[in-house]
Amino acid sequence: MSLVEELKAILGSDRVHSHPLELLVYNKDAGVTTGAVAAAVLPETTQEVAACVRTARRHGVPVVARGAGTGLAGGAVPTEPALLVVLTRMNQVWDLDGTTAWIGPGVLNLDLSRHTADKGLHYAPDPSSQAACTIGGNVATNAGGPHCLAEGTTVAHILGMEMVTADGDVVHLGGQSPDPIGLDLRGVVVGSEGTLGIVTKVLVKLTENPPAVRTLLLTFETIRDAAATVSATIASGIVPAALEMMDQPMVIAVEAFTRGGLPVDAAAVLIAEVVGLDAGVAAEAATIERIAVEQGATSVKVAADEEERALLWKARKNAFGAVAQAAPDYYLHDTVVPRTRLVEVMAKIYEIGDTHGIKMLNVFHAGDGNLHPLVAYDAREPGMAEKVRAAAEEMVRISVAAGGSLTGEHGVGLEKRDLMTLVFDPVDLDAQARLREAFDPDGVLNPGKILPRGSRCYDYGMAVLSEGEE
**Is residue 457 over pLDDT 70?**
no
Residue whose C-alpha is closest to residue 403's, from 335, 346, 466:
335
Query: For the segment 392-412, what is each residue's pLDDT rounded down to a tens digit?
Result: 999 999 999 999 999 989 999
Alpha-carbon gap, residue 470 to 462, rounded angstroms: 12
Alpha-carbon gap, residue 433 to 431, rounded angstroms: 5
Alpha-carbon gap, residue 108 to 130, rounded angstroms: 7
Query: For the segment 60-86, what is each residue's pLDDT rounded down to a tens digit?
Result: 999 999 999 999 999 999 999 999 999
Q: Which domains does the chain have, with CATH numbers?
A: 3-86 (3.30.43.10), 93-208 (3.30.465.10), 212-320 (3.30.70.2190), 327-418 (3.30.70.2740)
Q: Which residues pair with 415 in a beta bridge?
A: none
Which 3 state secondary structure label does DSSP give 289? helix
Q: Which helix (H) or strand (E) holds 376?
A: strand 370-377
- CA 211 to each of CA 121, 286, 297: distance values in angstroms, whole numbers, following the listed order: 11, 18, 28
Confirm if 288 and 228 have CB atoms less than 8 A apart: no
Q: Where are the alpha helices (DSSP H) in 295-425?
A: 306-317, 319-322, 342-356, 384-401
- CA 22 to each of CA 4, 62, 418, 445, 450: distance values in angstroms, whole numbers, following the listed order: 14, 19, 30, 22, 27
The larger pLDDT score, comparing residue 459 to residue 305, is at 305
Query: For the segment 183-229, what is each residue's pLDDT rounded down to a tens digit?
Result: 899 999 999 999 999 999 999 999 999 999 999 999 999 999 999 99
Residues with Cβ < 8 Å from 86, sequence gap 6 or more?
26, 40, 41, 42, 66, 67
Alpha-carbon gap, residue 96 to 99, rounded angstroms: 7
Q: Where are the alpha helices (DSSP H) in 32-168?
A: 46-58, 109-116, 135-141, 148-151
Alpha-carbon gap, residue 331 to 244, rounded angstroms: 20
Residue 470 pLDDT:
42
